[in-house]
């Protein structure tokens, strides 16, 4: 006989057990004795009932006692998988310290080690994310339906899925199923930075094999031990996953993440017109760099007219081309340039040198749009040669090639420009094209800088003045973009929503941040910034007639003109509305002791 057919008292015991073991509902050492009695957990921990502050203090002390960032990552994963509220309380309270531990750079180290560490990240039965392998093809819908990260809390359906196939994890290449750290990390930022309910997030890794020999030879590698499938199998598997996902969760927002570039572009163009989805590396990165670029343009405006910029992209993959396309929109929208004129401001470099139409190789589809045809037959192989030819005002690194912006390159940028814009955006830190310190030293401290992974501030020895690097990472965009879309409920994500998220991020800086010449707001403000990005996305969605949430349509439509200015009390009210809809580990709305007690008696 099944345990569920064994009478109501057994059902109640099952329920009590799943509440007390739920990483979401259990309160650990802060649970009052009334709760411990009701949940039959008295005696399972020492007598003391401590305050939330004390519980946080202990967790932080433990975290800080670890010797390496990977140990900290493992500790934090365990904490998240055993006590959700405590984990997010410390993340939200210490964003600057903890973001680099759950996201880039440490998530890169964790992904490299994922098969070695993942069995130790959570208690049995608590999954880190959903793995879907080629062998699951006949059962996809059933597997998706039964995936339950937190026992008991199964009434809430996921709102956002981040999905990867592990084929291009940060700048680390093909990591196969070890890429799971990325969807897991991104979704933690959705919770911490934008207040998506953690129970409504769905990290997914597709296992279609790996071409990573190191993984294939690693005795502990946990994915399929075969080479990646061909394109036909790839696209039909992804299609089957998409269909099953949307069958089970029709309203789900899907974020494509860290797919190899050609697949990334193809998947986006295949699904974007009819599915609620976006690609973070192409569109999220495009938006975050656009935002930093808008602020950089303002800083150098007195020396370089905005339409006179010359943008050199080192790296022509999903991120490089995605960013170039987004910057093109800026020149068109803000400066009235034609598409052809704006396109002329962009030069791409890949492993073969300057991307030109007459280079003699078969260009990948996504490179053709920006391939130059005005090079008079000349080909430029090295970055030095291209810099001499282009004389860029901005050098943007999305190549995963650590240190390639060497002293000579940085010095040359400083000779060519009063304030060179240098963005080494590759992740994790070891893959950044240069460090902030090198960029400062190589430009007599004149650089306008943003990197994908945070670098420490730099104090100029001669003046004692401290300068702060920008962090041009899509974490400033995707949480707010996703939250705005989830609230407004359009059926698709449009280019205009992406553009507006960049614009809203660029105007979200405080006067103090502007006075420090920052390109991005400080990370500790990311929750407020995401609310602003979300509010702007909501307004744009209503403006485009795509919003489907009645309350939002009513609220926004009547004040739409003033809301578009992102100023005034109407704007403040909309941001407040967004904030009220954000999940918060300290809110009674989400953790209510009385409710817990009544649930245990049901
Ligand atoms: N800051 C942020 O928010 C984000 C950062 N990124 C980072 O951007 C990087 C690139 O991502 P993505 O575009 O998807 O990756 P891809 O692998 O698709 O693209 C890398 C590009 O760099 C080129 N490249 C690699 N090595 C060299 C070299 N030695 N010289 C010249 N060109 C080179 C490649 O050339 P070829 O085409 O010839 O192979 C390719 O065009 C990653 O490190 C990723 O972490 C990505 C998204 C967001
Ligand atoms: C940040 C990010 O999305 C990447 O490096 O791929
Ligand atoms: Mg990515």
- Of ligand 2's listed atoms, the one at least distance from the Cα of 257 is 3
Gap from CA of 171 to ligand 1 centroid (Å): 7
For a ligand 2 pocket test, name from 186, 190, 258, 424 the mutation site with the most ligand atoms within 8 angstroms of its C-beta: 258
Question: Who contacts 173 (Cβ-Cβ below 8 Å, separation ≥6)?
Answer: 212, 400
Helix (H) or strand (E) holding 299: helix 285-300
**Helix, strand, or coil here: 313?**
strand
* Centroid of ligand 1 to alpha carbon of 384 (angstroms): 18
Question: Binding site for (S)-malate: what residues are annotated?
Answer: 168, 427, 473
- DSSP secondary structure letters along 95-116: HHHHHHHHSTTHHHHHHHTHHH
Give yes or no for residue 18 having a pLDDT over 60: yes
**What would the mean pLDDT of 411-430 be, rounded to a whole number?**
98
Residue 494 has pLDDT above 90, yes or no: yes
For residue 317, count other CB atoms closer than 10 A to its CB.
Answer: 25
Q: What is the largest CA-CA distance in the chain?
A: 83
Query: Hey, which of 315, 427, 501 would you mutate to test ligand 1's pocket, going by the most ligand atoms within 8 Å of its Cβ?
Result: 315
Q: How far apart, in whole angstroms, are the C-alpha atoms of residue 203 and residue 118?
A: 14
Q: How far is CA 206 from CA 113, 120, 172, 489, in A?
A: 18, 21, 17, 26
Going from the Cα of 448 to the center of ligand 2, the distance in angstroms, rounded, reads: 21
Reported confidence tier of residue 5, pLDDT bands at 50, 70, 90: very low
Number of C-alpha atoms within 13 angstroms, CB side, residue 23?
24
What does the block give as tokens for 322? Answer: 């995605």
CA of 399 to the centre of ligand 1 (A): 3
Burial class (CB in 10 A: 0-12, 13-18, 19+), 8: exposed
Q: What b/e sequence results for 474-506 when a residue is b if at least 16 CB atoms lie within 10 Å of its CB, and e otherwise?
A: bbbbbbbbbbbbbbbbbebbbebbbbbbbbbbb
Q: Report residue 349: phi and psi, to 5°.
A: -125, 135
CA of 337 to the centre of ligand 3 (A): 30
CA 103 to chain centre: 9
> Does the pLDDT at position 581 exceed 60?
yes
CA-281 nearest atom, ligand 2:
3
Asked if residue 416 lies in contact with residue 389, where contact means CB atoms within 8 angstroms, the answer is: no
Tell me: the pLDDT tens digits for 354-413? 999 999 999 999 999 999 999 999 999 999 999 999 999 999 999 999 999 999 999 999
Q: Give pLDDT, residue 1.
A: 36
pLDDT in tens, 62-71: 999 999 999 9
- Taken in order of first residue, the domains within the chain and their CATH numbers are 26-102 (1.20.1370.30), 126-279 (3.40.50.10380), 284-454 (3.40.50.720), 474-581 (3.40.50.720)
Torsion of CA 575, 576, 577, 579, to 10 degrees: 90
CA distance 130 to 580: 29
Q: How many whole angstroms separate alpha carbon 428 and alpha carbon 452?
A: 7
Residue 559, exposed/middle/buried by CB under 10 A (0-12, 13-18, 19+)?
middle
Binding site as annotated, residues: 168, 257-258, 281, 427, 473
Q: Which of 176, 71, 74, 164 lies closest to 118, judged by CA?
A: 74
Q: If you average pLDDT over residues 177-191, what whole number do you get?
A: 98
From 519, 517, 492, 493, select the one nearest 506 (Cα to Cα). 519
pLDDT category of residue 590 using cuts at 50, 70 and 90: confident
Strand pairing report for 458-459 and 466-467: antiparallel
pLDDT digits (tens, 9 = 90+) for 516-526: 999 999 999 99
Residue matched to tokens 């990573």: 212
Ligand 2 atom nearest to CA at 426: 5
d(CA 519, CA 392): 19
Query: What residues pair up with 93 in beta bridges, in sequence order?
Result: none
Backbone angles phi, psi at 123, to 5 degrees: -65, 160
d(CA 110, CA 175): 11
- Structure tokens that stand for 189 in this block: 């930022």
Task: Report which protein residue has its CA nearest ligand 2's atom 4.
Answer: 170
Q: Contact, 75 vs 66, CB < 8 A?
A: yes
β-pairing verdict for 466-467 and 346-350: unpaired
Q: Which of 285, 426, 429, 476 to mutate to test the pocket of ligand 2 (most atoms within 8 A of CB)?
A: 285
| Mean pLDDT score, 504-511 | 98
What band does 587 get if pLDDT is binned at 50, 70 and 90? Answer: confident
User: Cβ neighbours of residue 19 under 8 Å, at least 6 residues apart?
Assistant: 25, 26, 39, 152, 596, 599, 600
Would the pLDDT of 173 be above 80? yes
Which residue among 174, 292, 452, 477 is best mutated to probe the pocket of ligand 2, counting the most ligand atoms within 8 A of its Cβ? 452
Confidence at 151, pLDDT banded by 50, 70, 90:
low
More confident residue, 214 or 154: 214
Which residue numbers are catalytic? 103, 186
Compute, in angstroms, the gap from residue 426 CA to the centroid of ligand 1: 7
Nearest-CA residue for atom 37 of ligand 1? 350
How far is 214 from 506, CA to CA, in rounded Å?
41
| More confident site: 40 or 558 | 558
CA 452 from chain centre, in angstroms, equals 11
Atom of ligand 2 nearest to the CA of 425: 5
Neighbouring C-alpha atoms within 13 Å toward the C-beta of 462: 4
Q: Which residues line ligand 2 (CB under 6 A)?
A: 104, 170, 258, 280-281, 427, 452, 473-474
Binding residue ranges for a divalent metal cation: 257-258, 281
Instruction: Strands of 352-400 (E only): list them.
Output: 353-354, 394-397
Residues with CB under 6 A from ligand 1: 168, 170-171, 261, 281, 285, 288, 315-320, 349-352, 398-401, 425-427, 431, 452, 472-474
Q: Which pLDDT belongs to residue 152?
A: 60
Question: Which residue has the CA at smallest separation from atom 5 of ligand 2?
Answer: 170
Atom number, ligand 2, closest to the C-alpha of residue 452: 1
Q: Which atom of ligand 2 is nearest to the CA of 428?
A: 5
Q: How far apart are the first and last CA of the chain?
A: 23
What separation in Å is there between the alpha carbon of 260 and the centre of ligand 2? Answer: 12
Q: Is the pLDDT of residue 8 over 70?
A: no
Q: Which two tokens stand for residue 357?
A: 């139409």
Alpha carbon distance 279, 323 (integer Å): 12
Contacts of residue 152, Cβ cutoff 8 Å, sequence gap at least 6: 15, 18, 19, 22, 24, 25
- With beta carbons less than 8 A apart as the criterion, state whether 24 and 150 touch: yes
């Amino acid at each position: 006989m099944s345990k569920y057919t064994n009478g109501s008292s057994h059902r109640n015991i099952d329920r009590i057990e799943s509440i007390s073991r739920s990483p979401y509902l259990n309160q650990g050492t802060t649970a009052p004795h009334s709760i411990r009695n009701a949940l039959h957990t008295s005696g399972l921990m020492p007598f003391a009932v401590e305050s939330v502050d004390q519980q946080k203090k202990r967790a932080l002390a433990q975290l800080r006692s670890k010797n390496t960032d990977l140990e900290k990552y493992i500790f934090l994963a365990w904490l998240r998988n055993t006590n959700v509220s405590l984990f997010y309380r410390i993340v939200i309270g210490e964003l600057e310290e903890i973001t680099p531990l759950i996201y880039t750079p440490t998530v890169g180290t964790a992904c490299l080690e994922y098969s070695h560490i993942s069995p130790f990240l959570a208690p049995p039965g608590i999954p880190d994310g959903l793995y879907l392998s080629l062998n699951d093809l006949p059962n996809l819908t059933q597997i998706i339906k039964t995936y339950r990260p937190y026992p008991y809390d199964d009434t809430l359906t996921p709102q956002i899925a981040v999905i990867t196939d592990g084929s291009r994890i940060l700048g680390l290449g093909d990591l196969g199923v070890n890429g799971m750290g990325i969807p897991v990390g991104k979704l933690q930022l959705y919770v911490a930075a934008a207040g998506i309910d953690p129970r409504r997030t769905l990290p997914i890794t597709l296992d279609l094999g790996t071409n990573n020999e190191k993984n294939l030879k690693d005795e502990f590698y946990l994915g399929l031990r075969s080479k990646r499938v061909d394109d036909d199998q790839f696209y039909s598997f992804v299609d089957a996953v998409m269909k099953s996902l949307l069958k089970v969760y029709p309203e789900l927002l899907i974020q494509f993440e860290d797919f190899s570039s050609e697949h990334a572009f193809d998947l986006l163009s295949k699904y974007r017109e009819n599915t609620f989805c976006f690609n973070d590396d192409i569109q999220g990165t495009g938006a975050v760099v656009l935002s930093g670029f808008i602020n950089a343009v303002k800083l150098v405006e007195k020396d370089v007219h905005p339409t006179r910029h010359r943008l050199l992209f080192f790296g022509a993959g999903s991120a490089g081309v995605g960013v170039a396309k987004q910057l093109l929109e800026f020149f068109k929208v803000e400066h009235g340039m034609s598409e052809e004129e704006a396109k002329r401001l962009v030069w791409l470099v890949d492993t073969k040198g300057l991307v030109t139409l007459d280079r003699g190789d078969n260009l990948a589809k996504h490179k053709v749009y920006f391939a130059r045809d005005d090079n008079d037959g000349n080909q430029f192989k090295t970055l030095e040669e291209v810099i001499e030819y282009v004389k860029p005002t901005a050098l943007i690194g999305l190549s995963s090639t650590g240190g390639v912006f060497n002293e000579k390159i940085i010095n040359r940028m400083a000779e060519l420009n009063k304030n060179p814009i240098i963005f080494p955006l590759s992740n994790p830190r070891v893959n950044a094209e240069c460090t902030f310190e090198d960029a400062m030293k190589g430009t007599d401290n004149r650089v306008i800088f943003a990197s994908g992974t945070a670098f420490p501030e730099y104090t100029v020895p001669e003046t004692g003045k401290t300068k702060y690097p920008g962090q041009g990472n899509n974490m400033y965009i995707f949480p707010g973009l996703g939250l705005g879309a989830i609230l407004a409920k359009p059926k698709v994500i449009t280019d205009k929503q992406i553009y507006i998220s960049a614009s809203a991020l660029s105007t979200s800086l405080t006067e103090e941040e502007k006075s420090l010449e920052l390109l991005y707001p400080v990370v500790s403000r990311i929750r407020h910034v995401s609310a602003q990005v979300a509010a702007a996305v909501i307004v744009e969605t209503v403006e485009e007639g795509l919003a489907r949430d009645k309350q939002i349509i009513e609220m926004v439509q009547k004040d739409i003109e003033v809301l578009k200015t992102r100023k005034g009390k109407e704007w403040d009210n909309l941001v407040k509305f967004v904030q009220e809809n954000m999940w918060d580990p300290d809110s009674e709305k989400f953790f209510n002791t009385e409710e817990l007690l009544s649930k245990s008696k049901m």
